[in-house]
């Protein structure tokens, strides 16, 4: 109820009102009370409370007197301290002036009457803006306007006021923790004057250093004022121009120096023909550069640059040596240019001659390529005619060998078969190379089971390996790949043939390794091996390793393998150790398998030596081939129906009144007749699905596609007898057509 911060007289008056209220309350209680003793007891209690309040009032009055005295003492000490401060000080409580010292008021006498308690900070700064003692009112108003807005994001700010009579004050504004504002006025006149004096001294020293540097420079330097008068120069400037000392004194105009140079012909007239336009050119472009040939024989480079104050700087360099070197260099350049021009002329003549020779070489190359292309096309087109007699001869030789078995002619027939096999191998190599080089025939990748290719090659070469005393083994493989089946078969056959040829004892192994989505077809042998230096050379045409014995072939097999793999995108590699053997690898991309791989383990050949006991219908238009094939099949125990055309074949079937067990048909018959038409006609005539084998020398893909569609197997001429006999057994004993076996 009593405010301890209130003045003592207010406190005493409030306590008197409280006591009076208590007395009136006690009187009301006496009026309504019924007992005298109760009234007496209330009076006594009231009197005790009055005495206690009186004592509290006296004590409070005493404390208030002491507090008032301490406050006055503190106020007096604060005033003395503020008056003793060297700068102006002012305290603003809640944004209004509470106390300040006399120096704070006296900084600007014309506004001291407006500095009274209760003045706001903003009003104080506005009062400063109206003072007549400000030396730079515009700048001061900008600083004061920023001060009125208050410190941006901080608790303090300061700025400097320049007053008349070269007086300077710094005004600082600080905010206390309780939110009060303190303004401090500090006179910094002595500091500003001292800094100014030090700055002037430093400028004088810099000017001295600059002049000293100018005097020791090899360049001639001279600066001109905005009016074009000399301000700073060095002695080198006058020496290089050769002008008198009096002409480069301070205040001399640049135009005067130029006129002296022109009138006294100190430089060549051609160099200063436009001297009157130099000042305008300098003002327009901001710089000027001239080369002057002095009368003393020196060559001078004159550079003029505008300065920020629109004056300009002139520097002159003695470039006599550089000029002479440049002239000498230009002379040499002219001489070398003439030499290069002459050499270029000769080179053009040589180039024309070279172009003429290259044109002749190009024409000769085109002729050679045309001849090669013609040769290639001839070999590719003539393959059927070449292979027909080879096929017939091979069948006849095989028949002759069987007939001569056990007689004196056996050795002769064996040698004849070996020589013919070499000729057949060479012919196949030449035809393969011609097809791979021919631009008109391309490899035809298809999807097939790799195991059938491996089995066909192993079966073909099993007898050769057995005759040499070698083990030829195969690890079954059911992976499906995408490649050209015919050429992959030939490539594998070449690798197996080489392995058997260069292996004297041990074994040859054919197998596969799966590596992710690829399969690696490998041929291992325990032969003589290949030297590391020959690993790359053995894939070249007509190249053989150094450790290969003479008479081991023409060296075309591995070249065909390399070309085939390169065209098909297969990776071919070899790893070998001399004396221990070799392994050739062909890496092929796999495809998802469709069915079990037929022929991966091969047909059952356990009874391959038994008589065929079959009716075989042969459709072949070449009499020699027809005769040889008939003789061979009859030697195997088969009953043969020989026909030269489709019509004759159908007539023979009608005559015997029954369907043959198997059809062997050549693809190219006379005229428009083909083996495909013969197979269709025979199946239609008999009303049954007769197993059929197409034997052809045609290298195209049409026959392969027809084999897949019409369900017959394709054999290439010349026929591998080791393949033909098991294939006939397999097809005649199969319970269902072998649609997956499109080529063997």
Of the residues 318, 337, 357, which one is the last residue of a structural domain? 318
Handedness of CA 227, 230, 233, 238 (dihedral sign): positive
**Bridge partners of residue 158, in order along the sequence:** 172
**211 falls within a domain:** no
Banded model confidence at residue 82, pLDDT cuts 50, 70, 90: low
Same domain, 448 and 576: yes
Asked if 449 and 522 sit in the same domain, the reply is yes
- In this structure, are 175 and 73 located in the same domain? no
**Is 198 contained in some domain?**
no
Task: List, in sequence order, every beta strand (DSSP E) within 555-699.
Answer: 571-577, 581-591, 615-619, 639-643, 662-666, 692-696
Q: What is the pLDDT of residue 711?
A: 87
Domain with residue 312: its CATH number is 3.30.450.20
Domain count, the chain: 6
User: How much is the pLDDT for 391?
Assistant: 66
* Residue 3 located in a structural domain: no
Question: Under a CB-based contact definition with an 8 Å cutoff, are residues 645 and 621 in contact?
Answer: yes
Domain final residue, candidates 521, 556, 591: 591
Q: How confident is the model at residue 678 (pLDDT cuts 50, 70, 90)?
A: very high
| Cα torsion angle, 239, 301, 266, 223, sign | negative
Residues 452 and 578 in one domain: yes
Distance CA 448, CA 480 (A): 5
Residue 259 · residue 265 · CB < 8 Å: no
- Tell me whether residue 729 is in a domain: yes
Whether residues 703 and 631 share a domain: the answer is yes
pLDDT band at 737 (very low <50, low <70, confident <90, very high): very low
CA distance 483 to 471: 28
> Cα angle vertex 311, ends 305, 317, to 5°?
35
- Domain limit, last residue, from 166, 187, 208: 187
pLDDT at 679: 92
| Nearest to 128, CA basis, from 154, 85, 162, 179 | 162
Beta strand extents in 245-395 (DSSP E only)? 287-293, 299-306, 312-318
- Supply φ then ψ for residue 352, to 5 degrees: -60, -40
> Per mean pLDDT, which range of 96-110, 384-398, 655-669, 687-701 is the poorest?
384-398
- 166 lies in a domain? yes
pTM of the predicted structure, to 2 decimals: 0.38
618 neighbors 669 (Cβ within 8 angstroms): no
- Give the residue-averaged pLDDT of 423-430: 63
Structural domain containing residue 331: 324-381
Indicate if 137 and 227 belong to the same structural domain. Answer: no
User: Are residues 471 and 565 both part of a single domain?
Assistant: yes
Is residue 12 situated within a structural domain? yes
- pLDDT given for residue 186 in this prediction: 86
How far apart CA 570 and CA 488 sit, in angstroms, is 10
Mean pLDDT value of segment 469-482:
89
- 106 and 68 in a single domain? The answer is no
Q: What whole-number distance in Å separates Cα of residue 475 and Cα of residue 500?
A: 17
> What is the average pLDDT across 22-41?
59
DSSP string, 364-375: HHHHHHHHHHHH
> Is the confidence at residue 596, as pLDDT, over 70?
no
Least confident of 186-195, 294-303, 538-547, 734-743: 734-743
Residue whose tokens read 């050679």 = 368
Same domain, yes or no, for 465 and 502? yes
> Angle at Cα 554 formed by Cα 548 and Cα 555, nearest 5°?
65
Same-domain status, 61 and 40: yes
| Sign of torsion over alpha carbons 537, 543, 546, 552 | positive
| pLDDT for the residue numbered 1 | 53
Residues 73 and 101 reside in one and the same domain = no
**pLDDT over 90, % of the chain:** 8
Burial class (CB in 10 A: 0-12, 13-18, 19+), 247: middle
Instruction: Decide if 425 is inside a domain.
Output: no
Mean pLDDT of 719-739: 68
Residues 295 and 346 reside in one and the same domain? no
Give residue-wise pLDDT tens across range 576-585.
888 888 999 9
């Amino acid at each position: 109820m009593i405010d301890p911060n209130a003045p003592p007289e207010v406190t005493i008056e409030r306590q008197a009102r409280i006591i009076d209220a208590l007395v009136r309350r006690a009187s009301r209680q006496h009026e309504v009370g019924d007992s005298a003793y109760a009234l007496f007891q209330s009076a006594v209690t009231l009197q005790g409370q009055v005495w206690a309040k009186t004592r509290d009032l006296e004590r409070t009055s005493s404390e208030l007197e002491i507090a008032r005295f301490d406050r006055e003492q503190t106020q007096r000490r604060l005033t003395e301290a503020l008056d003793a401060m060297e700068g102006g000080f002012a305290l603003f409580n809640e944004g209004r002036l509470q106390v300040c010292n006399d120096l704070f008021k006296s900084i600007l006498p014309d506004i001291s009457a407006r500095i009274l308690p209760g003045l706001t900070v903003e009003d104080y700064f506005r009062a400063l803006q109206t003072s007549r003692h400000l030396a730079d009112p515009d700048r001061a108003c900008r600083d004061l306007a920023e001060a009125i807005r208050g410190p941006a994001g901080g608790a303090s700010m300061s700025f400097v006021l320049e007053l008349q009579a070269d007086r300077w004050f710094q005004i600082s504004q600080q905010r206390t923790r309780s939110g009060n504002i303190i303004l401090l006025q500090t006179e910094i006149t002595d500091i500003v004057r001292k800094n100014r004096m030090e700055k002037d001294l430093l400028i004088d020293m810099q000017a001295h250093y600059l002049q000293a540097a100018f005097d020791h420079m090899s360049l001639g330097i001279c600066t001109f004022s905005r009016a074009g008068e000399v301000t700073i120069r060095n002695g080198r400037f006058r020496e290089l121009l050769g002008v008198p000392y009096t002409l480069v004194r301070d205040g001399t105009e640049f135009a005067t120096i130029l006129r002296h140079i022109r009138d006294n012909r100190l430089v060549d007239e051609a160099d200063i023909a436009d001297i009157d336009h130099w000042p305008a050119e300098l003002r327009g472009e901001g710089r000027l550069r001239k080369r002057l040939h002095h009368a003393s024989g020196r060559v001078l480079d004159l550079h003029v640059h505008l300065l920020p104050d629109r004056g300009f700087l002139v520097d002159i360099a003695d470039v006599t040596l550089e000029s002479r070197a440049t002239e000498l260099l230009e002379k040499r350049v002219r001489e070398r240019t003439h030499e290069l021009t002459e050499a270029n002329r000769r080179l053009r003549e040589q180039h024309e001659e070279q172009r003429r020779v290259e044109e002749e070489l190009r024409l000769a190359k085109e002729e050679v390529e045309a001849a090669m292309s013609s040769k290639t096309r001839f070999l590719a087109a003539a393959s059927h005619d070449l292979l027909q007699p080879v096929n017939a001869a091979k069948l006849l030789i095989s028949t002759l060998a069987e007939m001569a078995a056990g007689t004196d002619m056996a050795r002769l027939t064996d040698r004849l078969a070996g020589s013919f096999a070499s000729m057949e191998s060479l012919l196949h190599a030449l035809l393969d190379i011609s097809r791979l080089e021919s631009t008109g025939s391309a490899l035809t990748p298809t999807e097939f089971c790799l195991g059938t290719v491996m089995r066909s090659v192993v079966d073909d070469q099993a007898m050769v390996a057995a005759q040499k005393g070698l083990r030829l083994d195969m690890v079954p493989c059911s992976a499906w790949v995408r490649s050209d089946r015919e050429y992959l078969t030939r490539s594998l056959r070449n690798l197996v043939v080489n392995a058997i040829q260069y292996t004297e004892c041990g074994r040859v192994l054919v197998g596969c390794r799966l590596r992710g989505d690829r399969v690696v077809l490998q041929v291992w042998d325990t032969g003589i091996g290949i030297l590391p230096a020959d690993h790359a050379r053995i894939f070249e045409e007509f190249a053989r390793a150094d450790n290969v014995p003479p008479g081991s072939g023409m060296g075309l097999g591995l070249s065909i393998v390399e070309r085939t793999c390169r065209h098909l995108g297969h990776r071919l590699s070899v790893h070998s150790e001399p004396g221990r053997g070799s392994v050739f690898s062909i890496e092929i991309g796999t495809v998802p398998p469709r069915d079990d791989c037929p022929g991966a383990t091969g047909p059952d050949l356990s009874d391959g030596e038994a008589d065929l006991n079959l009716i075989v219908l042969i459709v072949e238009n070449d009499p020699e081939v027809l005769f040889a094939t008939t003789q061979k099949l009859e030697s195997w125990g088969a009953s043969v129906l020989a026909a030269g055309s489709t019509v004759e074949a159908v007539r023979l079937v009608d005559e015997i009144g029954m369907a043959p067990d198997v059809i062997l048909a050549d693809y190219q018959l006379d005229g428009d007749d083909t083996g495909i038409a013969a197979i269709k006609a025979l199946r239609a005539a008999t009303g049954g699905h007769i197993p059929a084998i197409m034997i052809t020398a045609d290298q195209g893909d049409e026959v392969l596609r027809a084999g897949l569609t019409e369900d017959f197997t394709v054999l290439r001429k010349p026929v591998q007898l080791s393949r033909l006999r098991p294939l006939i057994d397999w097809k005649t004993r199969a319970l269902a057509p072998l649609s997956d076996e499109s080529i063997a």
